[in-house]
């Protein structure tokens, strides 16, 4: 009887191994990535300097004007300043090159003029058709 009872219980060492594997899995899938994110966040917050464009966790875009002990002064519009905690900064925005609309429109017009002079190669010419070419609308009956 004691032999059967021992085999049904299983080896206590195997239970310990399973618990250890679960603990290791928790470490690699939950604890380690969280620590890594915290380190990256702290590094990003310490690297904030005046002139940096940032987004806060509440979705406010701003430019860093000054940083003090744990908080920063953001300019969110011209002449509008807000003081927030440094932990509220979600990310730093990379500088984006802005394109002047007038020069972009002029460039687009110049390209379209060049394309209009070239004959289409294997393309289909699209023209606006007459009203007679439009498909007829299906007839609906008013019978109830």
19 vs 7, residue with greater confidence = 19
132 inside domain: no
* 50 DSSP 8-state letter: T
Number of domains in the chain: 2
The DSSP string of 65-101 is EEE-SSEEEEEEETTEEEEEEGGGEEEEEPP-----H
- Confidence band of 112 (pLDDT split at 50, 70, 90): low
Shared domain check, 93 and 53: yes
Range of the domain at 38: 7-46
Mean pLDDT is lowest, of 37-46, 106-115, 128-137, for 128-137
**pTM for the whole thing?**
0.47
142 inside domain: no
């Amino acid at each position: 009887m004691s032999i059967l009872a021992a085999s049904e219980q299983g080896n206590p060492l195997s239970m310990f191994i399973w618990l250890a594997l679960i603990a290791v899995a928790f470490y690699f899938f939950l604890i380690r990535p969280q620590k890594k994110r915290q380190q990256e966040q702290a590094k990003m917050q310490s690297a904030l300097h005046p002139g940096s464009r940032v987004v806060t966790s509440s979705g406010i875009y701003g430019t860093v004007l000054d940083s003090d002990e744990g908080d920063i002064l953001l300019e969110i519009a011209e002449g509008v300043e807000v003081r927030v905690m440094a932990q509220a900064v979600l990310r730093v925005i990379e500088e984006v090159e802005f394109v002047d609309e007038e020069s972009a429109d002029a460039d687009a017009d110049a390209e379209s003029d060049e394309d209009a002079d070239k004959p289409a190669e294997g393309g289909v010419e699209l023209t606006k058709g007459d009203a007679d070419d439009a498909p007829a609308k299906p007839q609906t009956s008013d019978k109830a």
